[in-house]
Amino acid sequence: KQEVTQIPAALSVPEGENLVLNCSFTDSAIYNLQWFRQDPGKGLTSLLLIQSSQREQTSGRLNASLDKSSGRSTLYIAASQPGDSATYLCAVGFNQAGTALIFGKGTTLSVSS
């Protein structure tokens, strides 16, 4: 059974700190991996999409890496801000159609000012 695990479940940091969120998956035969952000009462916002052939993607202060062989992805957030407070979800795509998209339970991040 394909499983996606995110550690830690919750994280609290002071403003300005750099941080790393972790995502691990059990099956290395993936098509892609996405990182999402979810704010309370809101839907998910796609942050970064990494194709299976890629090692990393960057957008602003965010950098996501992918290591298929070890079944891991990390989301690096530089110079964290209170506005970064949200739940971050990792989703691993195991087929081309996107129907086998398995989500982790997320890491809830709180950045204090």
Partner 1 sequence: GAGVSQSPSNKVTEKGKDVELRCDPISGHTALYWYRQRLGQGLEFLIYFQGNSAPDKSGLPSDRFSAERTGESVSTLTIQRTQQEDSAVYLCASSLLQGRNSPLHFGNGTRLTVT
> Which parts of this chain interact with partner 1 (CB under 8 A)?
4, 31-32, 34, 36, 41-46, 49, 51-52, 89, 91, 93, 96-106
Between 40 and 113, whose beta carbon lies closer to partner 1?
Answer: 40
Q: Minimum distance between the CB of residue 17 and partner 1, rounded to whole angstroms?
A: 26
Between 18 and 58, whose beta carbon lies closer to partner 1?
Answer: 58
What is the rounded distance in angstroms from the CA atom of residue 83 to the CA atom of residue 15? 10
What is the rounded distance in angstroms from the CA atom of residue 2 to the CA atom of residue 60? 31
Between 35 and 84, whose beta carbon lies closer to partner 1?
Answer: 35
Q: Minimum distance between the CB of residue 47 and partner 1, rounded to whole angstroms?
A: 9
Q: Minimum distance between the CB of residue 101 and partner 1, rounded to whole angstroms?
A: 6
What is the rounded distance in angstroms from the CA atom of residue 111 to the CA atom of residue 113? 7
Instruction: Locate 107 and state its tokens.
Output: 């890491």
If phi > 0 it is left, if psi is from -120 to 50 it is alpha, else beta; for residue 31 that is alpha
The tokens 């298929």 sit on which residue?
A: 68
Q: Minimum distance between the CB of residue 19 and partner 1, rounded to whole angstroms?
A: 21
